[in-house]
Amino acid sequence: MKYQLEHLLDGCLSQLNEGADLEEVLAQYPAHADELRPALAASALMREIAPPPRRRLEHKAELMATVARRRRLVESVEGVVVEIKAGVPVEELLARLPVELHPAVLAAYRMQSTPTPMPTQESIAEGKQRLMALVAERRIELGLDAAPKRDLAGGLLRGLLPSPTWGRRLVTGALAAALMVSVGLAGLLQVGTAAASSLPGDNLYHVKRLGEQAQVLFAFDPDLKTTLRARFDERRLLELHALARDGRALPEDLLQGFLDQRAATPEDLARLSQDQRELLRSLLEMAGEDVADDLDPSVREALLPQTQPKSAPEPQTERGSNNSVSLDWVPSSQPRPLPEGEADEEPILEETPIRAPIADAPPAVDETGDKQGASEPDPVTEPEGPVSSEQGDPPPVVQREPDEDEPSEQPDEPAAQQPPASGQPAVGEPGPAEPGAGAEPPPVVVPDPEIGEPGGDPPPIVGPPPLEQPAP
Amino acid sequence: MQEEHDLIRKAQSYDPDAFGAIYERFYNGVYRYIFYRVGEQSLAEDLTMEVFVKAMEAIDTYSFRGVPFSAWLYRIASNLVVDHFRRQPSQMAVSLEEKLVASLEHPTGVLESEFAHHQLRRALSELTDDQQQVVILKFVDGLSNLEVAQILGKTEGAVKSLQHRALASLGRVLGERGEVPA
């Protein structure tokens, strides 16, 4: 219905535009006349306001003429510009072109004839230098070039991949983190190495003790745990001995702790090796009566059988002060002087075979928990083990003097330095660090190739030239 | 044209030599364009440098299917000039006035060409922005209508029309000031 009405309205408007009368048009559609009348009346009113078609055509013609004139002007000015740029004299153009173009001709000529502003050479050079620097920075940012030396590692890492993708950044970050961790571990290893040679009272000694506690904590094998504890107890004794050798004060709590744990009863004492007992005895003599008085009487009697006054110096030991140490303890790798009486019966080297007690020892466990070969010394019974290698200092040494019956390669040794004939343990010099050692001849280092420590040099043995050892 | 394409491709790989060649090839034109728009040598030098810095930073976004590289540079320059006057709208007029007064007070100390630049720059300031750009690009930088159209994003016909109106207005302004015969 609506479509039909619109169709009728369109036809009526066409008739009105052709000059038909409104009432005549409506009379053709009487059924829709009332609906069509308002729209057709408005259309007639608009037609009366608008200019007649003829006038509109005239206006359009005027507009097109103006546009054409303007286009000619534009093209003329374009021609002027081309001619001025081509070098045609401005006077010629002014004479040839209409007056209305003269301002444009003169303006174009002025624009063309004005010297071109030029930048200074300095600004050009500085600008290029700055641009090149920025390009270089951008190339480094994108990984196209290696960074300067201060960022060499970063540049190398950036150069692993061709473009700055997220994957590359991830790899770069991971590598940088790994590098930092490696540096940190290296630092820790250095600290650990330094701590291993520390003694009670040193700054890094607590690091050493923490490391030992960690080893015991993470040793899940009970046997290994026991072995480690024994090794570390042994180490405490050696530390005390090293302190005494260096003339440093002995921490009594450390010695007391060892006595409480390892030498509280005669049974405990019996489990100690001969080396440990001798070392313990030396330390007790130095520590004073207070420590010795706290011992079990039987233990005290076993360790200090002579019951000599503890403060009285023994004639055979060099003990100038409380901080000095009795140096009569001999590592198990050394031929040990025998008690009086025994030495008279057999030569020392025959009485104390070097390898006999070590061959029967259980396999040792090194610092990392790795078991050593069966021929390796027991760390508990072998005092020269880890400590000596960690401390880097030679162990306490004994200048063993040969018996009178033994062939000596030092016939010119002064008689004053000969050991007493009493058969007491010989008193030796600890080495260059000991006062008065300068008078001694240079020590002869005799490493034992069979008792070498894993990862460390065999403990140096200072003594006379090796004697020809008879077969056991 | 192929040579320029190769140059741009190298520059997109951040080849320093390519950037150096681009700088030397386009620096003077960009500088002249900026100089006539800002009217001050040091400022024009700074803005010209900034154009090449921004071009280097955005070199990845340039596409050969769009406008020529020179037009791309001039668009950057135009935007920088507009931004500069947005930040300091009164600087241009003050600078021109100061230089003009200085040149009048000390005519013997000012080069004739510099004085001519100031006169022309002052007349150009009477034009619309599009008109200024058309006459500068065509007369100072010697670009074609097509290149100017590509820079301004208009048709060649529009550029010719702008040129006509710009020169007509410029001639009228110069004539009124007695700088060209009316």
Contacts of A80 in chain B (CB under 8 A): 167
| Sequence ranges of the domains in chain A | 2-113, 127-194, 197-402+424-432
Alpha-carbon distance of B7 to B20, in angstroms, equals 10
Q: CA distances (Å), A138 to each of A144, A380, B57, B73, in order? A: 8, 64, 9, 20
CA-only gyration radius of chain B, Å: 18
Per-residue pLDDT reduced to its tens digit, A385-401: 333 333 434 344 334 44
Cβ <8 Å between A115 and B117 = yes
* B67 CA: distance to closest CA in chain A (Å): 23
Question: What is the pLDDT at residue B145?
Answer: 92
List B residues 92-151 in contact with A (Cβ-Cβ < 8 A). Answer: 113, 116-117, 120, 135, 138-140, 142, 145
Helix ranges (H only) for A18-165 are 22-27, 33-49, 53-85, 90-96, 102-113, 121-141, 152-158
List A residues 59-98 in contact with B (Cβ-Cβ < 8 A). Answer: 70, 73-75, 77-78, 80-81, 85
Alpha-carbon distance of A11 to A5, in angstroms, equals 10
Q: Is B179 on the interface with A (CB under 8 A)?
A: yes
* Domains, chain B: 1-89 (1.10.1740.10), 126-182 (1.10.10.10)
Question: What is the number of H-type helices and E-type strands within chain A?
Answer: 20, 2
Neighbours of B58 (CB within 10 A): 11
Closest residue by Cα to residue A255 from A219, A221, A303, A217 = A303
Contacts of B115 in chain A (CB under 8 A): none
Per-residue pLDDT reduced to its tens digit, B92-122: 544 555 555 544 444 444 456 667 777 788 8
Question: What is the pLDDT at residue A306?
Answer: 60
List B residues 32-61 in contact with A (Cβ-Cβ < 8 A). Answer: 32, 35-36, 41, 44-45, 48-49, 52-53, 56-57
Describe the crossing of helices B41-57 and B16-38 by its angle, rounded to 10 degrees.
140
* A91 CA: distance to closest CA in chain B (Å): 12
Contacts of B22 in chain A (CB under 8 A): none
Question: What is the pLDDT at residue B167?
Answer: 92
Please, what sign has the CA dihedral across residues B142, B147, B151, B154?
Answer: positive
Q: Worst-scoring range by mean pLDDT, A73-77, A182-186, A210-214, A231-235? A: A182-186
Per-residue pLDDT reduced to its tens digit, A4-50: 888 889 998 888 888 888 888 899 999 888 888 888 888 877 777 77
Q: Worst-scoring range by mean pLDDT, A106-120, A254-268, B143-157? A: A254-268
Q: Is B66 on the interface with A (CB under 8 A)?
A: no
Q: Which residue of A has its CA nearest to B121?
A: A111
Per-residue pLDDT reduced to its tens digit, B28-75: 999 999 988 888 888 999 999 999 999 999 998 888 776 789 889 999
CA-only gyration radius of chain A, Å: 56
Supply the mean pLDDT for chain A: 65
Question: Which of B25, B27, B47, B49 to probe by mutation at the A interface, max A CB count within 10 Å?
Answer: B49
Statement: residue A289 has pLDDT above 80: no
Q: Which residues face A445 on adjacent strands? A: A462
Find the length of chain B.
182
